[in-house]
Amino acid sequence: MLNTRSSRFFTAQNYSLPLSTASAITFAFMQRFLILFLLVITLGACRNNTEKPTDMHAEDPHSFARPQDAAVTHIDLDLKVDFATHVLYGKATLQFDNKSGTRKLHLDTRDLRIDSILLDGVQKTTFELMPSQPILGSGLLVDVLPETKSIDIHYATSPQAAALQWLEPEQTAGRKHPFLFTQSQAVLARTWIPLQDSPGIRFTYSARISCPAALMAVMSAENDTSLHTDGVYRFNMPQPIPSYLMALAVGDLQFHAYDSRCGVYAEPVTMPVAANEFVDLPMMISAAEELYGPYAWGRYDLLVLPPSFPFGGMENPRLTFVTPTILAGDRSLVSLVAHELAHSWSGNLVTNATWNDFWLNEGFTVYFESRIMEKLYGRDYADMLTVLSLGELQKTVAEMGNEHPDTRLYIDLTGRDPDEGVSDIAYEKGRFFLLNIEQAVGRERWDVFLNQYFKNHAFGSITTEMFLADLEKNLIQGDSKLRNIAIRDSLWVYGPGLPTPFPKVHSAALDRVASAASAFIGSGTLPDTAGWTTHHWMQFLRNLPADLGKDRMAALDRAFHFTDSGNSEILCQWLELSIRQGYAPANAALDAFLLRVGRRKFIKPLYQALCDQPAGKERALALYTKARPAYHAVSVQTLDVMLGYVPK
């Protein structure tokens, strides 16, 4: 880790207050006291009227920022990308609105080296970097004047910055050039930019990025799609976004356009497959717009990353980042694109105010994703995906335990890593809650509500309480019978487990696959797989029992070549089954998969399955030790804990 403090700067331990600062703090304290007092009064009043407050400021337990005092409104970055040292360095200019006339601007940083800070581009100022905390990093307190409009922060990132993954050429598809990408959600933006790292704070941004001349830089902003021979790229993001949507990637990239507003970036060797996989993108965007209103962000492009990308997708505005593991060749995994696209409304336009409200981002998005899939590919197809997801949700709840506090939609993550809230609960229990409302009020009314919801809260943030108040005001409107069927927030939002009655979903196609699986288990009859897509196969594999036996495994492999599957979802499911069955012919494929792919959703269950086998922990650790250097910090963080890995 970098030494982020130096004797030149004030430190938390030896800091003595200048008189003016002391009185400013007293003032700030009194002001906070007053705000608190007013809040208590308001809350009391609300309770009497049985109305919930809708626009009070939500405290974010994962940020040191104090937006009620001073809020960042625009960031201009001027950064150099140094592949030799794995460092980004340069300057971030933060414009801010000093609402309270404060003399301290509170920012978030983690593992940053802060070199100097200037007020309004001219006057050097002092600052204090607080001692680093494990997840939150170091608060950066900058001495500003009530009239200060902007600060220039000269800084450098650490080679270990958790948001950044620096890839060697061998880790890319083309194997010729290095690659860099960022992953800022949830609280990692602060590891590459000093800023107010809270989803409740929005700002616009611009950037000048210089990188090696052979490479292309792209950001979650206006991109001009062509290679610049001088290696200098300029970006502009005119719509205000929360910090977790800051994104940058640099690599050997090409662009392929589908129409005038959407296309895909990929490495040249990946492009033929990538360009073909997402041809439905223009239709998808139109379908989303027909559902919930105009797309607000100008262009919508995709960026296909190298396989170490720890997620399936990340909804960086204007430029969704996706894993190459969705390139199945038959367009069967594009629901992930529908998901990231849907975030352009749920998440990017209307944003969870804190990570405690994360289910608002993801639950809405899974619901919206499903509506897009239905519109494009029909009800049966969408139902198939929903039924598969329900299976996952039930499995997750069973594993966590029906009474586990983290099976509630609203989770207080104070003092915890927001990553701990990322589970099927936020995504799937969230989606089924919304589906429950849809089924109770009818689609027509529900869609009217949602259209209004996205319009009313556009470019704003929302808490769980605000959403529930919105539901009451604009949908339930005092109808207690309806409220009791549709909402029951004490069960859905604040209660653990899965409520009953639960929304009904059904897929005749998957029922037939389940029967085919039973027949195979019973008599060894191979299924008639004519017309099967990825999701039929998933259902089939998931229906096979833990004691299927190696002969049946071998028969399946002979007939369907699972071990050689190029479809990551099918392969991963098959590999997990193979581990549990002790089916050795898949071992080499497992090793190769774990060494190449870093997508957490895939590798976590595989390592878990290994650990569940007698003496499997050693094999897991041996493989992990080899693969770990190529994994992103996000996956490493999860697997280190799971495997009890202690870095040397």
Q: Which residues are known catalytic residues?
A: 340, 427
- Name 85's bridge partners: none
Q: Which of ligand BES, Zn ion, none interacts with 430 (beta carbon under 5 to 8 A by kind)?
A: none
Per residue in 4-18, is it b (16+ CB within 10 Å) or e — as a string?
bbeeeebeeeeeeee
The residue among 154 and 331 lying less far from ligand BES, judged by its C-beta, is 331
Say if CB 385 and CB 535 are below 8 A apart: yes
Alpha carbon distance 382, 338 (integer Å) = 12
Q: Least separation, in Å, of the C-beta of 466 and ligand BES?
A: 20
Q: How many residues bind Zn ion (CB under 5 A)?
A: 2
Q: Least separation, in Å, of the C-beta of 181 and Zn ion?
A: 17
* Inter-CA distances, 121 with 83, 263, 496, Å: 28, 38, 52
The residue among 338 and 609 lying less far from ligand BES, judged by its C-beta, is 338
Q: Which of ligand BES, Zn ion, none interacts with 375 (beta carbon under 5 to 8 A by kind)?
A: none
* Inter-CA distances, 174 with 270, 303, 310, 592, Å: 8, 15, 19, 18
Q: Least separation, in Å, of the C-beta of 614 and ligand BES?
A: 31
Q: Least separation, in Å, of the C-beta of 417 and Zn ion?
A: 18
Residues within the interface to ligand BES (CB under 6 A):
185-186, 311-315, 336, 339-340, 343, 362, 422, 427, 601
Question: Phi, psi (5° rounding) for residue 632?
Answer: -75, 155
Q: Residue 637 half-sphere exposure, CB side, CA atoms within 13 Å?
A: 15
Q: Least separation, in Å, of the C-beta of 320 and ligand BES?
A: 8
**Helix crossing, 508-523 with 534-542: angle to 10°?**
50
Say if CB 124 and CB 118 are below 8 A apart: yes
Say if CB 211 and CB 81 are below 8 A apart: yes
The residue among 248 and 475 lying less far from ligand BES, judged by its C-beta, is 248
Angle, CA of 288, 201 and 429, to the nearest 5°: 50
Binding to Zn ion by CB under 5 A, coded x per residue (else -) over 169-188, reads: --------------------
The interface region with Zn ion, picked from 166-174, 183-191, 362-370, 448-456 by CB under 5 A, is 362-370
The residue among 237 and 342 lying less far from ligand BES, judged by its C-beta, is 342
The residue among 281 and 475 lying less far from ligand BES, judged by its C-beta, is 281
- Name 478's bridge partners: none
The residue among 171 and 352 lying less far from Zn ion, judged by its C-beta, is 352
> What's 262-286 look like in SS3?
EEEEECCCCHHHHHHHCCCHHHHHH
The residue among 362 and 569 lying less far from Zn ion, judged by its C-beta, is 362
Q: Least separation, in Å, of the C-beta of 32 and Zn ion?
A: 35
Say if CB 370 and CB 386 are below 8 A apart: yes
Say if CB 624 and CB 591 are below 8 A apart: no
Helix H or strand E segment including 485: helix 480-486
Q: Least separation, in Å, of the C-beta of 600 and ligand BES?
A: 8
Q: Which long-range contacts (CB under 8 A, 24 or more apart) does 295-300 make?
A: 295/344, 296/239, 296/344, 296/345, 296/349, 296/458, 297/239, 297/344, 297/348, 298/222, 298/261, 299/222, 299/223, 299/261, 299/262, 300/261, 300/262, 300/341, 300/344
Angle, CA of 609, 610 and 612, to the nearest 5°: 65
Any idea what DSSP says for residue 127? Answer: E
Alpha carbon distance 299, 471 (integer Å) = 31
Q: Which of Zn ion, ligand BES, none interacts with 357 (beta carbon under 5 to 8 A by kind)?
A: none
Q: Least separation, in Å, of the C-beta of 360 and ligand BES?
A: 12
The residue among 315 and 357 lying less far from ligand BES, judged by its C-beta, is 315
The interface region with Zn ion, picked from 170-178, 286-294, 354-362, 591-599 by CB under 5 A, is 354-362
Q: Which of ligand BES, Zn ion, none interacts with 306 (beta carbon under 5 to 8 A by kind)?
A: none
Instruction: Report the interface residues with Zn ion, using CB under 5 A.
Output: 362, 365
